[in-house]
Amino acid sequence: MLDITHVRSVLSDVYDLAPSATLANEMQDIYARMDRVISPPDWAIYAPYVRAINALKKERNAVILGHNYMTPEIFHGVSDFGGDSLQLAMKASDVKEDVIVQAGVHFMAETSKILSPQKTVLMPDMDAGCSLAESITAEGVEEMRAKYPGAPVVSYVNTTAEVKAASDICCTSSNAVQIVNAMDSDTVIMTPDQYLAQNVANESHKNVVYWPGSCIVHEQYTAKDLRDFREWNPGTQLIAHPECTPDVVAEADFSGSTSGIIKYVHDKKPERAMLITECSMASNIADELPEVEFVGPCNMCPYMKKITLEKILYVLHTMEGQVEVDEDVAAKARKSVQAMIDLSRKLGL
Ligand code: 13P
Ligand code: SF4
């Protein structure tokens, strides 16, 4: 586990990280991307970190890939590229820089390393896991193959490199239906998210069988929550991630991946919207959509929230937190991830 006292002592020897209203004022252009959701005193705290990280990125020839669930000061302050799992994986396969800092969870950093083995991939906190990735091992995939002989295995990118290596192809929430439909078999095995699999089954013509994993953030929402919310706040558009249960998805006005949700809100511009997903999603798009009021409860992903500006600065400074994947495992996993990327490009996704 990262020793935060050590992190602070290393950083304070080198950088001036004291809150600064003057610096915050000088960095108004960056602040403008998040000033509806970050208060000026908080920006004065973040600004010295943002300045130090952005300068160090140039020195190290590094790029920061930020998932849509990062907090706004990371997503808008230091990320060079933001997006959903599929967009980040595609970006990781063609970045020019020598170093990739993954502002996201561990399976995303592994995916970047699998696709760019010659690059240094840094993970700001190795403990930023994922309940889905932790729910299955390569043995679990073999168990499913034994139960459904001949059926192809489509594994969500929210899996370890070993599980990807044991699968035939990967998918993300933005291409899962199309990938499953493209399989040359009536029965398709999906791992590890039971709810994504059930939601895909509802939209596909395949017999989808699945592993019983789940996301601890999305499984908390119930259809009753959504009905109660509608009653309390009529007219609000309810927009759910497909890691939610099928009941929740059925109750929602739209369901899509994190980038699908962003696109939907941009296109529809509802007066009020509730995003049935991780908290930071709404914060990250609030400034670009001032006409939309984001309302209602949201759940935080404790893994995503392990990533902070302080830890990003620390790994860029020390070059600690390098992600390694065994070469044989990486070669097999690359086939599954690349098959997904190639098929997604072919399908124009
Ligand atoms: P997306 O692929 O929609 O970005 O989802 C990733 C994730 O971890 C959602 O919980
Ligand atoms: Fe994993 Fe869920 Fe967190 Fe996404 S939100 S990283 S699926 S635990």
Asked if residue 343 lies in contact with residue 182, where contact means CB atoms within 8 angstroms, the answer is yes
Question: Distance from the CA of 104 to the center of ligand 2, in angstroms?
Answer: 10
b/e 85-112 (16+ beta carbons within 10 angstroms → b): bbbbbbbbeebebebbbbbbbbbbbbbb
Q: What is the pLDDT of residue 155?
A: 98
User: What's the gap in Å between 108 CA and the centre of ligand 2?
Assistant: 11
Residue nearest ligand 2's atom 8 by CA: 130
- CA 132 to ligand 1: nearest atom: 8
**pLDDT at residue number 248:** 98
Task: Give yes or no for residue 336 CB within 6 A of ligand 1.
Answer: no
Residue 110 beta carbon below 6 angstroms from any ligand 1 atom: no
Asked if residues 154 and 190 have their Cβ atoms less than 8 Å apart, the reply is yes
54 confidence band (pLDDT: 50, 70, 90): very high
Using the mean position of ligand 1's atoms as its centre, give its distance from the Cα of residue 6 in Å.
32
pTM of this structure: 0.96
- Ligand 1 atom closest to residue 218's alpha carbon, by position in its atom list: 10
In contact, 340 and 172? CB cutoff 8 Å:
yes
Residue 298's pLDDT is what?
A: 80
Residue 161 pLDDT exceeds 90? yes
Cα first-last separation, the chain: 38
**Residue 281 CB–ligand 1 contact under 6 Å:** no
Contact 84 CB / ligand 1 (< 6 Å)? yes
- On the 0-12 / 13-18 / 19+ scale of CB atoms within 10 A, 342 is exposed
| 328 CA from centroid of ligand 1 (Å) | 27
Query: Residue 156 — φ and ψ, nearest 5°?
Result: -60, 150
Q: What is the DSSP letter of 270?
A: -
Residue ranges and CATH numbers for the domains of the chain are: 4-130+304-318 (3.40.50.10800), 133-215+326-346 (3.40.50.10800), 218-294 (3.40.50.10800)
What distance in Å separates the CA atoms of residue 119 and residue 319, rounded to the nearest whole number? 12
Asked whether residue 216 carries a pLDDT value surpassing 80, the answer given is yes
Distance CA 294, CA 27 (A): 26
State if residue 158 touches ligand 1 by the CB under 6 angstroms criterion. yes
**Scanning the structure block, which residue is given the tokens 């705290």?**
45
Whole-number Å distance, alpha carbon 198 to ligand 1 midpoint, is: 16
Order across the sheet with 153-156: list the strands: 169-171, 153-156, 187-191, 207-210
Is residue 296 within 8 Å of residue 274, measured between CB atoms? yes
Q: How far apart are CA 338 and CA 343, in angstroms?
A: 8
The Cβ of residue 230 has, within 10 Å, a number of other Cβ atoms equal to: 15
Specify the 3-state DSSP secondary structure of 299.
strand
Dist. CA 163–CA 262, nearest whole Å: 29
Ligand 2 environment, Cβ below 6 A = 105, 130-132, 158, 215-217, 243, 278, 301, 303-304
Measured over the CA atoms of residue 169, residue 175, residue 177 and residue 182, the dihedral's sign is: negative
Q: Average of pLDDT values for 128-137?
A: 98
For the Cβ of 255 lying below 6 angstroms from any atom of ligand 1, the answer is no
pLDDT at 1 exceeding the cut of 90 = no
Q: Which of 241, 301, 307 to mutate to test the pocket of ligand 2 (most atoms within 8 A of CB)?
A: 301
Instruction: Please report, rounded to a whole number, the percentage of residues in the chain having pLDDT higher than 70.
Output: 100
CA distances 109 to 8, 88, 137, 177, Å, are 24, 10, 18, 24
